[in-house]
Amino acid sequence: MLLYLMQLPQGRTWQRYGLLLVAYLLGLRASVGRIGGLDLYYHDSFSAKVVAVVITAFFVVMALVAFRKIDLSRFTWLAWLGALTYPLYLLHSDIGFIIFHRLQHVINKYVLVGGTFMLILMAAYLVHVFIEKRLSKLLGKQVNRLLDMLAK
């Protein structure tokens, strides 16, 4: 949200830069803090350095896109992929958890991650095409009608 607000130069205030720094530091703290529990739960080691580098890379790339240092407009497939983010968000943790819990000792962990990613991505695509696209106009009309009724 902060990066969205900071896209234009007038949105780049020192307060927002400060909040972005706090968000970054809290993200690092929370993620690195969970490593011990993940080590115990998954019986595998996780690297705090790798976690910190990945989180830092996400923040840097998102900032470069928001500040228009990286132009992604020519990659139209990214808009399509972006449409899958919400169904992906809704599906990934529950289905992914079940798959990992059931198959973690049966399938190679890298194959499991890749296969689960592809499965969840396909499921998100199906939700987007068969549910979101078909119902979004109807839902939008209903929400607007409800908001109009509440405004009176």
Predicted confidence (pLDDT) per residue in 18-59, tens digit:
999 999 999 999 998 888 888 787 778 888 999 999 999 999
What is residue 106's predicted lDDT score, i.e. its pLDDT? 92
Burial 85-106 (b: 16+ CB within 10 A, else e): eebbeebbeeebeebeeeeeee
Cβ proximity of 84 and 130 under 8 Å: no
The dihedrals phi and psi of 45, each to the nearest 5 degrees, come to -95, 145
pTM of the model: 0.61
Q: What 3-state DSSP class applies to 59?
A: helix
Mean pLDDT score, 92-118? 90
Task: Give Dmax over CA atoms of the chain in angstroms.
Answer: 59
Mean pLDDT of all residues belonging to the chain? 90
